[in-house]
Amino acid sequence: MQRHLLDILDKAAADDVMMVLSVANICGKACERLLSSCIEIIVKSNVDIITLDKSLPHDIVKQITDSRAELGLQGPESNGFPDKHVKRIHRALDSDDVELLRMLLKEGHTTLDDAYALHYAVAYCDAKTTAELLDLSLADVNHQNPRGYTVLHVAAMRKEPKIIVSLLTKGARPSDLTSDGKKALQIAKRLTRLVDFTKSTAEGKSAPKDRLCIEILEQAERRDPLLGEASLSLAMAGDDLRMKLLYLENRVGLAKLLFPMEAKVAMDIAQVDGTSEFPLASMRKKIADAQRTTVDLNEAPFKMKEEHLNRLRALSRTVELGKRFFPRCSEVLNKIMDADDLSEIAYMGNDTAEERQLKKQRYMELQEILSKAFTEDKEEFAKTNMSSSCSSTSKGADKPNNLPFRK
């Protein structure tokens, strides 16, 4: 194994060499030659001091920086980066203290871009902290670091779907290239094994994060989200806000059951957790009562409060994100949500035993339709990506930057 790694080490990306270096260091004398070769490659690479400090033991980092100094190799650290002001910014991010970060920025010693703060947050911080940093709107999401990486490139390396979607919604460009000609999608594919990407996910189970990242980036490059209303049911709701809220609650709830990982990403970005879920049973009863021929004049009409509007906006944003980044899931949800009797099935209320049995039967039919559509969708998607991967591999012989999946 060590001999094989030594043969291909000079062809590997610096970030991959860093991982090999970490393992070789743990193995000790058994991998002494491999460790020495890795250190030699990293010394001559453009890997910055911050990445080294975060990835390697202190003694190895010192060995690398000392070797660079002896060889006269110029790195970002030779120009005094990071200085004490940049380090304070990074420490604030390490402690998830965005308020402290604001105070440091007001001192005017550095900016988020000069400190590569967004790159740092995307690489090492909690997704929530990264989202708060993005919401400050003080950093360029397409800014390149000294290695030629944009923030989206770094996010693709981390393989965190929520961060990737957050960046794309803030204007990150999926078409931007690294200094060696790679896009974020190519980076994500390089870090994912083909067998992991094509493996089908059981209905209702979370999709693997690395595969989800690839799907999101592929969709961002296509730039063809579903147009118009989320589905026929929502379009028919028109301006009836309570019908829209009922629809959205049902749709997002169904998405959480069928596509838990995709739903979580969209809901987190839309900040659904910061809103109050509306009690659907009581709402369905009000809507059903409103459709009767007799009207109870003593019953107060339903009123949309601010909390309902906040909930509606958050759920609408969730559906929009689903249409944009997870169109396959959206199409499956449309088929279910547009079933005429879905809302009736959802509300069991004061039904008789016979009515409940009929609704249960209809529910099972819908579940079978969904399961079939879900399976066909997954199989078709796997075939499509298998063929595109083979195409990329064949082209890769002429174009070294066209990266296939990991083996």
Q: Are residues 59 and 33 in the same domain?
A: yes
For the chain, how far is it from start to end, CA to CA, in angstroms?
Answer: 16
User: Do the domain assignments include residue 264?
Assistant: yes
Span of 64-78, 128-142, 190-204, 288-302 with lowest mean pLDDT: 288-302
| Same-domain pairing of 240 and 96 | no
250 contacts 342 by C-beta, under 8 angstroms? yes
pLDDT-based confidence at 406, cuts 50/70/90?
low
- Highest mean pLDDT: which range of 1-10, 84-93, 337-346: 84-93
Note whether 286 and 384 are same-domain residues: yes
Q: Are residues 264 and 325 in the same domain?
A: yes
Tell me, yes or no, whether 211 lies in a domain. Answer: no
Reduced to 3 states (helix: H, G, I; strand: E, B; else coil), residue 5 is helix
Its sign, for the CA torsion 61, 15, 132, 137, is: positive
Q: Is the pLDDT of residue 4 over 60?
A: yes
Residue 341 binned pLDDT confidence (cut-offs 50, 70, 90): low
pLDDT value at position 384? Answer: 56
pLDDT band with cut points at 50, 70 and 90 for residue 401: very low
**CA 267, 271, 274: angle at the middle one, nearest 5?**
120
Residues 257 and 347 in one domain: yes
Mean pLDDT of 166-177: 93
User: Dihedral (C-alpha) 196, 198, 204, 209: value to the nearest 10 degrees?
Assistant: 40
Give the range of the structural domain holding residue 53, as residue numbers without chain letter.
Answer: 2-78
Please tell me whether residues 16 and 133 are part of one structural domain. no
pLDDT tens digit sequence for 69-126 = 898 886 555 566 788 999 999 999 999 999 999 999 999 999 999 999 999 999 999 9
Q: What pLDDT does 225 receive? A: 44
Bigger pLDDT: 291 vs 368 = 368
Long-range Cβ contacts of 6-11 (<8 Å, 24+ apart): 6/33, 6/34, 6/37, 9/34, 9/37, 9/38, 9/41, 10/41
- What's the confidence (pLDDT) of residue 276? 80
Average pLDDT, the chain: 79
Tokens read off for 383: 């075939």
- Which stretch of DSSP H or E encloses residue 345? helix 342-346
Q: Which residues contact 295 (CB under 8 A, 6 or more apart)?
A: none
Q: Are 185 and 152 in contact (CB under 8 A)?
A: no
Select from 162, 152, 208 the least CA-distant residue to 185. 152
Each residue of 184-217: pLDDT tens digit? 999 999 988 887 777 777 666 778 888 899 999 9
- Residue 169 forms part of a structural domain: no
Q: Are residues 99 and 27 in the same domain?
A: no
d(CA 162, CA 165): 5
**Mean pLDDT, to the nearest integer, of 210-238?**
68
Only one residue has tokens 């779907």, namely 161
In a shared domain, residues 32 and 93: no
pTM over 0.85: no
Q: How far is CA 28 from the centre of its chain?
A: 37
Residue 209 contacts residue 159 (beta carbons within 8 Å): yes
Query: In terms of domains, do 309 and 356 share one?
Result: yes
Max avg pLDDT among 12-21, 301-310, 337-346: 12-21
Within this chain, do residues 235 and 256 fall inside the same structural domain, yes or no? yes
Instruction: Report the percentage of the chain scoring pLDDT > 70.
Output: 70
Domain check: are 30 and 52 in the same one? yes
